[in-house]
Each structure stands twice: as C-alpha cells, then as structure tokens.
Amino acid sequence: MPMVIIEGPKADVETKRELVKRITEVIREVYKVHHVSVIIHENETENVGSDGELLSDIIARRRG
C-alpha cells in the first residue's frame, strides 16, 4: 500500500512511464511511504460516460 488505480485514456508507453514515475513521487512525498503500486486502465472513449453522453460522441460533436 498505497495502490493507485488510474482510469485513463489510451496512452503510449512513454506517457505511462512518466505517469507511474510522477504519481509514485507524489504518493511517497504526501503519505511518507516507500512502496507504491499503480494500475493503469486504458479506456476507449466509447467506454466512458460524461454527464450522460459517451466521450466518443462528445469528441465527434466537437470536431463536427
């Protein structure tokens, strides 16, 4: 412990490497702990809902 679960978008390995490094630093400094586990769930935009709409539909409409 602690463990961090991130429900995020698709990302490349560089992005995920930076994410794990920096999230771990924050958790360590704020909680004063050493061991930190992170799980990144990459979600398709059609699997995310924001205020009643699929994120994929919101993005498509904005690009309209």
Point out which residues bind a copy of itself (CB under 8 A): 1-9, 11, 13, 15-27, 29-31, 33-43, 46-57
Burial 2-25 (b: 16+ CB within 10 A, else e): eeeeeeeeeeeeeeeeebbeeebe
Joined together, the tokens standing for residue 44 give 């398709």
In this complex, which beta carbon is closest to a copy of itself, that of residue 38 or of residue 64? 38
In this complex, which beta carbon is closest to a copy of itself, that of residue 40 or of residue 62? 40
Q: How far is the CB of 6 from a copy of itself (least distance, A)?
A: 5
